[in-house]
Chain A
Amino acid sequence: MLPLLGGVIPDNGPRDYLPVFLLLIVAAAVAASQLLISWLLGPKTKPNPVKDSPYECGIEPTGEAHTRFSVKFYLVAVLFILFDIEIVFLYPWAVHFGGGVEDGVVFATRGALVRFLFAEMLVFLLILFLGWYWVVKKKALDWEEA
């Protein structure tokens, strides 16, 4: 990669990361240049209360932006993350369950390995469902309950 710079970066250095550093520099340059151009070209008015007020689709702002909302959202979000991540584990399992390709050779999973993989997933799902059962029984998903 980038043979022109091959002599500059020592051989045992992190040469493969060079594009990343270049990208960082370009990103910083783009951001800085846009700020600079708008500062150079834009009209310069003094700040006033109307100008400083937050933009809410052109409608006059009402109330605080920091309103309190129910802690139940937090609980639901945490539960969502938990179960979502656990479901992610199903995908690699499903992809490899039937077989796969190793060294260019297609092979099918069979016999003891199928039974093992299947039992493994059953155990995983059992634990998952027990957790879900606990959550439901503890009324963590009941929105109305105080």
Chain B
Amino acid sequence: MSGWNLGLALPEWILAGCVLAALAADAQGRGEWVRRFAWFGVLAATAAAGLQGLLRLDTGTKLHAFHGRYGLDAFAVVFKLIFGGTSLFILAMSGQWLSRVDRGHGEFRLLALMATLGMFFACSIEDFASLFVSLELITVCFYCLAAFKRNDARSVEAGIKYVILGGLASAFLLLGIAFLYGATGSLEIRALSAHADDLGHAGASLLQFGVLLVIVGLAFKIAAVPFQVWTPDVYEGAASPVTAFLSMGSKAAGFVLLLKVVRACLGPGADAGLRDPDAVRWLGLVALMAATTLLYGNLGAMWQGNLKRLLGYSSIGHAGYALMGIFALSEAGFAAVVYYLMAYLFTVLGVFAVIILVNGATKSHAIDDYSGLGRRSPFLALVLTVGLLSLAGVPPLGGFFGKFLIFRAVVDKGGVLAYSLAFVGAAGVVISLYYYLCVVKRLYMHEPGPDAPATIAVPAPMKAVLWTCLAGMFVLGIFMGPFVALAEEAARALVASR
């Protein structure tokens, strides 16, 4: 655990170097070079993370760098691949959208690259100071990105709402970290794990309060009730590529950190497995949060006439499902969360790719303007339909299998609480089918409006994104074997790390 071991952080070094290089290039006004550095940085860092996973990690090993402040295990590698994939999709999707914006091309890619660096760090953090820094690196970039269309009142409103509420959440998180430092005398997440036995005792209020506040700070990032109010407004106001990045990257980063903190709350015991779940007092709180989150998201989405707003509410609902996986507090539950996020990656980015293209032609996000898309642009309508069905969880798509794993983990847990939560989750799925299918109905069974554009042109990078997402949704729903193995490997590494 001692030693610098600097080479271990190779993906982060690559990203950090590219950030600095892109910054210098942007200062010189060479947008073309910013684009190259961004692409190279994300591609090389993702490849480096993948190679590290293949070459340096055996099953169940964890390597440390920076004197134990940085850890690399299968969990970190899998999430780095998810984040790398997300950023590649975002870079590919933003090209066409940026050509419609007159300024700030360099800044957009620069901020996306920096946010990616933060996400990569978030996978490997081992102490609360790094947790805070990596989370802020991500969030500050998203503050700027949300307000990116600075002449658009909606976008500025989104940015300001996100900045104020995000700042508040960061304050909660910091206060929680301070309480935990006071209770354990150390900033290491490992130290929290050593004190986990006290979490259930009445005397350890400092520790309990600290964990609660940290979870509040992270619940804001994943948009869990009651810290979700910013989501629909920010999703609607921010530019579509930013919303896509926010709904996948920022949410997954919140889950990475939440998983790490929840794992530490379960205490050490790598060999004995996880502790008796009945001893975990705060489980009821997680169940309540999951149930209200998924009900709020799905019920709120029913009334939306704006597709991006609908997806904002649906993203709250999906945070609820993923929280169900955390509620299970088992290796299977954690693996289900990882798999769910993998499937969500292809699904939600595919949907947003269609939204960017349609918005480019109609300048609108209203669901009414999607009428008859199936006749005008059959391929786009197909991707949107498959994406929405995958979000709803219809077999044989990735979203279905992710939900299946989560429900199985919850039901396997047993007990009244778990069964009730699974029931609420099932009700949520039924509700979500209604509003997703309403959109699908509009695509195929409504006449297009009189001023609807005929066929929407799809540029080559977008075509690649759409096909990859379509393929990803089907592969994750049908040939899920290797991906389930990957998710289980990540969950095993998470459980084994103490």
Number of B residues with CB within 8 Å of any CB on chain A: 8
Q: B27 and A127: CB pair below 8 A?
A: no
Interface hit among A47-55, A61-69, A85-93, A131-139: A131-139
A contact residues around B24 at 8 Å (CB): 130, 133-134
Give Cα distance in the complex from A37 to B20, angstroms: 63
Which residue of chain B has its CB nearest to the CB of A127? B20
Query: B24's closest neighbor in chain A, by CB?
Result: A130
Q: Quick check: is B450 within 8 A (CB to CB) of the other chain?
A: no
In the assembled complex, the Cα of A12 lies from the Cα of B23 at a distance in Å of 54
Closest to A137 in B: B27
* Residues of B with C-beta under 8 A to A133: 24, 27
| Shortest distance from the beta carbon of B30 to any chain A beta carbon, whole Å | 11
What range describes how many residues of A lie at the interface? under 10
Distance (whole angstroms) from the CB of B204 to the closest CB of chain A = 12
Q: How many Å lie between the Cα of A131 and that of B28 in the bound state?
A: 13
Residues of A90-146 contacting chain B, CB below 8 A? 127, 130-131, 133-134, 136-138
Complex interface: chain B residues within 8 A of A138 (CB) = 27
Q: Smallest CB-CB separation from A12: which chain B residue?
A: B203
What distance in Å separates the Cβ of A115 from its nearest Cβ neighbour in chain B? 13
Task: Return the CB mask of B22-40 against A: 1 if under 8 Å, else 0.
Answer: 0110111100000000000
B203 touching A134 by the CB < 8 A rule? no
A133 to B20 alpha-carbon distance, docked (Å): 11
Rounded to whole angstroms, the CA-CA distance of A127 and B23 in the bound complex is 10
From B20, B29, B203, give the contact of A130 (CB < 8 A).
B20
Contacts of A137 in B (CB 8 A): 27-29
Q: How far is the CA of A137 from the CA of B29 in the complex (A)?
A: 9
Name the interface residues of B5-64: CB closer than 8 Å to any CB of A: 20, 23-24, 26-29
Taken together as a complex, chains A and B put the C-alpha atoms of A133 and B26 apart, in Å, by 10
B339 to chain A, nearest CB (A): 37
A131 to B29, CA, bound (A): 14
- Chain A residues whose CB sits within 8 angstroms of the CB of B28 once the complex forms: 137
How far is A127 from B21 in the complex, measured between Cα atoms in Å?
11
Q: Report how far A137 CA is from B34 CA in the complex, Å.
A: 15
- Residues of A with Cβ closer than 8 Å to B? 12, 127, 130-131, 133-134, 136-138
6 contacts between A and B (CB under 8 A): A130-B24, A131-B23, A133-B27, A134-B26, A137-B27, A138-B27
